[in-house]
Structure 1
Amino acid sequence: MRALKTAILSAALALGIAGAAQASEAVHIPKQNWPHSGIFGTIDKASAQRGFQIYKEVCAACHSMRLVPIRTLAGIGFSEDELKAIAAGYEVQAGPNDAGEMFMRPAIPADRFPSPFANEQAARASNNGALPPDLSLMAKARVGGEDYLYAFLTGFEEPPADVKLMDGMSYNKVFPGHQVGMPNILQPDGVTFADGTKATVEQQAHDVATFLTFAAEPHLDARKQMGVKVILFLLVLAGLMYATKRKLWSTLH
């Protein structure tokens, strides 16, 4: 619970800082078409599965998702056997054993995705002093949500002639300040999708943004479905109440 509260607080702070910086620089974040947008929208499970593949093969080398249980992936269509196979590809710390020592074991679906680094210092040491943020709530921690994630992932380019990059930094046209410690990790055909989808940079960015949206709010579809049911119930109830009112008042005239 403490970890969840800390992550939410960090996300709120990041949202405020990023929002203020973007407002001051008037960074334009183009709107994208997302199947999960709107009251009747739902997560594109095929896209989210491709996004998970990109996370696993590309992003997970630096970024953790420590708040997301592996079994959450059932929400985008992975079967129980597939979840077990995915979990078995990770190791998590367990114990203590009878000797009082901690040990590593293969993960199970109930475990959360392990961090690629033992601690924050190790993460910074491997990334030129930069700390790769946890991606569990990233879709909620940035103004613009998935639109910002897409714009950021497709926003890497050569810096203008009058911009001097600091050591180890990359230029990104939508990132506040435009200098970011993360390199351009998405390359054309950098992954091979099992469903045959062409792995353009734009497609990869779209799929990653979809997956991170799902990871940040895995019950999004269920919440929308419940909302629609509640609205329909209230409409029917309002109709019944109106009919009852007409019936009662008709006897008074």
Structure 2
Amino acid sequence: MSTMIKSVRALAAAASLAVAAPAFAAGETPHIERQQWSFSGPFGQYDRAQLQRGFKVYKEVCASCHGVRLVAFRNLAEEGGPGFTEEEAKAIAADYTVVDGPNEDGDMFERPAVLADRFPSPFPNEQAARASNGGAYPPDFSLLAKARAAHRGFPWFVFDAFTQYQEQGADYIYALLTGYEEDPEGIEVPSGQYYNHSFLGGQFIGMAPPLSDELVEYTDGTPMTLDQYSRDVAAFMMWAAEPHLEARKKMGFRVMVFLIIFASLLYFTKQKLWRNVAH
């Protein structure tokens, strides 16, 4: 009986893989093109205006399904972030309600969020999230830009170590958001799913196209296009995943300068001490 159950499970798993990833049966993976980001390279920095636009896209479009539970409202006003003032961050927090408690009666209660609070999740639990999204679980955005990426094979990852290429996640998010297409001829898309040529899960994705032209209003003159929205929210998600990126790069540069100076001092000290000693 156990052998029969294992056989059924194996067949089910094989069938699900055949449906989920028909285009990747031969080991293919979607080609994710590299994009230009202000935060790329050893001296890269976040574009404050882009982060604010990306937050606007997230808040008005993505926040109904995806949370950023590891990001606190105070982070919006911290150095290296979107550059909101403390008053602006407080106003953003006041638009949210969080559960607190227990109170003196032992009951939980709701209150307006403050800077110390983290962004509340749109759903109380995973089961509620799946029930509201046809069984699919919308991932949290906090670390998604670092966790999801099209991994580059040999020898590219060796070059990436020297070029400091670390934007695979942002590249993938941008490619995914702009990768929706009409159902290709000859390919049957399962009911409730959508065709996306950049989706690493196999081209069929349960998330409907979330962005379109002129969906979110920009007031700084930036083009209100699908391409721009995708870039901005991908940059915001990169910041959410690595809010201390700028500080890390500055510290790394200082360490390299120190090591070069220290190595030089050691070399000249050795030359001074051992110059007249016969070997």
* TM-score, normalisation: structure 1: 0.88
**Residues 1-16 of structure 1 mapped to structure 2, 5 A cutoff:** none
Partner amino acid, structure 2, of 1:105: R
Is 1:164 matched with 2:188? yes
Structure 2 residue matching 1:123: 3-state secondary structure = helix
In 1, the alpha carbon distance for the partners of 2:25 and 2:253 equals 34
Which blocks of at least 5 consecutive residues in structure 2 are unaligned? 1-20, 150-167
Larger radius of gyration: 2
Which blocks of at least 5 consecutive residues in structure 1 are unaligned? 1-17
**Residues 43-82 of structure 1 mapped to structure 2, 5 A cutoff:** 43-74=46-77, 75-82=81-88
In 1, the alpha carbon distance for the partners of 2:26 and 2:88 equals 43
Structure 1 residue matching 2:111: 3-state secondary structure = strand
Aligned to 2:42: 39
Moved more, 112-121 or 216-225: 112-121
In 2, the alpha carbon distance for the partners of 1:23 and 1:53 equals 40
Aligned to 1:205: 230
In 2, the alpha carbon distance for the partners of 1:46 and 1:27 equals 31
Is 1:219 matched with 2:244? yes
Aligned to 1:139: 145
Residue 22 of structure 1, CA deviation: 10
| RMSD between superposed Cα atoms in Å | 1.7
Partner deviation per Cα, 1:185-215 (whole Å, 9 max, x = no partner) = 1110111123221111111111111110110
Aligned to 2:173: 149
In 1, the alpha carbon distance for the partners of 2:63 and 2:186 equals 34
In 2, the alpha carbon distance for the partners of 1:122 and 1:194 equals 35
In 1, the alpha carbon distance for the partners of 2:135 and 2:58 equals 22
Partner amino acid, structure 2, of 1:113: F
Residue 23 of structure 1, CA deviation: 8.8
1:119 paired residue among 99, 122, 125: 125
Partner deviation per Cα, 1:103-128 (whole Å, 9 max, x = no partner) = 10001111111111122222112111
* TM-score, normalisation: structure 2: 0.80
Count of residue pairs brought into register by the alignment = 234
Structure 2 residue matching 1:68: 3-state secondary structure = coil
Residue 146 of structure 1, CA deviation: 0.7
Structure 2 residue matching 1:83: 3-state secondary structure = helix
Aligned to 1:250: 275
Runs of at least 4 residues of structure 1 off by over 4 A?
A: none
Q: 1:67 to 1:229 in 2, by over 3 A?
A: same
In 2, the alpha carbon distance for the partners of 1:201 and 1:97 equals 46
